[in-house]
Structure 1
């Protein structure tokens, strides 16, 4: 890798979202493009770009920014960093559009990728802060795991926000990156930490451009797994992951996420099982049962639980069913139930009791049970 890469000349957008104009640019690809969609991020950009500037990666780098119709001075702030970044050896391309409405984060990411030239893509949210080692360590991991999506551990800011979610991100084992993809937390390799080869990105698909309310990261993540791609996490904290009420993730409804998760569970797991048990006879377990297609509903052997009140009732009646008589599913104590299991109890919410119960049955995650919670 050339420690002093020559700069590729790129120009800012003419306002039509098509990228640069008349200047010639080198055809040679850079090693890593930092992909940054921007929408009204002015208050965070200085801190974000300062961190980009301080990356200790010695290869050639590019910053590719697409501004999704910001109404603040985001574009001006980014342009203010151009000289410093180019002096550091970065190629810089900044474009965007000035439509009355933003077209969504999926659209902005796709545009930032399409105008970039990196052999590897490092996705960076404008409100987050990458630590100095991020590009280097994830690039090195990508060379070893070339067909994998690479993530890392994170530090949440403000400290203590989304405590359970942050603990989950950072504590997943390599196997659990695959087995816990059905949980409500979303992608096990969380989007703000994504790093991958351009070849992998093009193999999967562009991001969904449906706009506000579309979980473009989860849709891409599930498609990546369908394509047989791998997952890997660098077990170092390489990103300060900011939590705030304006984050785009808040626009996605639980109903949308739920349906995607159920469909993926049926496709990847339940289609392989002849019978299974839903672990939780309460609201979440019954909701999963009602969401299954008729074929998989008939595969449900029983519900299991630890709540004596639910167990004493003996069964759950599916009142919404058009079948006559209406299906009645037995409710058993978990020790009397037979696997495999779909666990519909929230992780990290029972003081370790759920985990102890699973361990007592000597069950293996990813074979005897999957979490769906």
Structure 2
């Protein structure tokens, strides 16, 4: 264990070829930890595998559960490395994940949240995919628990096409393969850089995912359900403000897409479309040639006017019917909410996602 308030070793052990490290950050996880670690024990992977756990200032019975499974896993031939932050204050998920990685030795990293459960074939199938896709984050399909929670989100996670894993990275859903499903090479992880350690309220997974894409990383999904993904009020993601996510998304959109566009249309002349317009840099606001919508009242209104500052004259931006809109478009309409009507309208325009439009919903 690390010294009080500290972390594990500051430098990573030398990676062992063909070796997979399962990375588990833990903070007050006793309610789920038994089932989580049991799923490590049940893996059918025939290569070498280790478990690297970092206990971030837990005050419940998590440490005892970890020690119990350490004995059981090592008896089964799976080494277990345990580090801890023994201070009174947790340092956060990003810090705990970084420390679990640093103390591990695998050529490949398999991320697992302490409240989730892996299917027995997960490590084997993602390892096989990672060999074929060396600069990728490998994900998988998931089963949500409870089943009725976040149904639209779960459908989105599981049904994205291979192309959409990269084109839909700007949506409010976050990474197109969710963090607890990530599997990647150790070399690529350190090429991208560590997780942000800002702590509570920082979307460390989203920021890492954006860096990954900016550095030329790809995204691949194993099209099988390999993870039971739990939804509960204690999840760390609930501490992140929507506005924080929004601001990161806008900056990423500007950097990856809008920088190369000379003009574009925003699809949605309502609240979300106008919010996006106001959130853009002054240079990118000037590129907005129109809004488009299906709402006749908004279209009849004719223009959207926004006062950028007292010194700058108010721009009057036309509002058009979506069929009269000129691509490229940034679409601020939420998917899977209109009984297929929006999707049908979009399909009827015969546009190509990733070239003529991107979703920002």
Q: Is the shorter-chain TM-score for this pair beyond 0.5, marking a shared fold?
A: yes
The separation in 2 between residues aligned to 1:126 and 1:28, in whole angstroms, is 25
Give the 3 Å change call, closer, same or farther, for CA 326–16 of structure 1 in structure 2. Answer: closer
Matched, 1:92 2:80: yes
Offset of residue 26 of structure 1: 9.4
Look up the match of 1:219.
Answer: 207
The separation in 2 between residues aligned to 1:266 and 1:18, in whole angstroms, is 37
Contact 1:207–1:216 (Cα < 8 Å) also in 2: yes
Moved more, 238-247 or 41-50: 41-50
Offset of residue 27 of structure 1: 7.9
Offset of residue 16 of structure 1: 4.9
- Pick one of 107, 112, 115 that aligns with 1:119: 107
Task: State the SS of the aligned residue for 1:363.
Answer: coil
Give the 4+ runs in structure 1 shifted more than 6 A.
none
Offset of residue 224 of structure 1: 0.3
The separation in 1 between residues aligned to 2:71 and 2:171, in whole angstroms, is 44
Look up the match of 1:261.
Answer: 249
Offset of residue 15 of structure 1: 3.8
The separation in 2 between residues aligned to 1:126 and 1:138, in whole angstroms, is 19
- Pick one of 45, 50, 56 that aligns with 2:33: 45
Q: Mapping of 1:301-316 within 5 angstroms? A: 301-316=289-304
Contact 2:15–2:107 (Cα < 8 Å) also in 1: no
The separation in 2 between residues aligned to 1:253 and 1:18, in whole angstroms, is 28
Matched, 1:17 2:6: yes
RMSD: 1.4
Look up the match of 1:185.
Answer: 173
- Number of residue pairs the alignment of both structures matches: 358
Look up the match of 1:370.
Answer: 358
Q: Mapping of 1:1-373 within 5 angstroms? A: 12-19=1-8, 28=16, 31-373=19-361
Deviations 1:164-206 (A, max 9, x none): 0000000000000000000000000110100000001000010
Task: State the SS of the aligned residue for 2:336.
Answer: coil
Task: Give the TM-score taking structure 2 as reference length.
Answer: 0.97
List alignment gaps of at least 5 residues for structure 2. none
Moved more, 251-260 or 313-322: 313-322
Contact 1:277–1:301 (Cα < 8 Å) also in 2: yes
Offset of residue 19 of structure 1: 3.3
Contact 1:38–1:108 (Cα < 8 Å) also in 2: yes
The separation in 1 between residues aligned to 2:160 and 2:103, in whole angstroms, is 34
Offset of residue 123 of structure 1: 0.4
Contact 1:15–1:95 (Cα < 8 Å) also in 2: no
Deviations 1:21-56 (A, max 9, x none): xxxx99856610000000000111111111110000
Contact 1:30–1:62 (Cα < 8 Å) also in 2: no
Contact 1:30–1:117 (Cα < 8 Å) also in 2: no
The separation in 1 between residues aligned to 2:80 and 2:153, in whole angstroms, is 34
Contact 1:29–1:117 (Cα < 8 Å) also in 2: no
The separation in 1 between residues aligned to 2:350 and 2:238, in whole angstroms, is 38
List alignment gaps of at least 5 residues for structure 1. 1-11
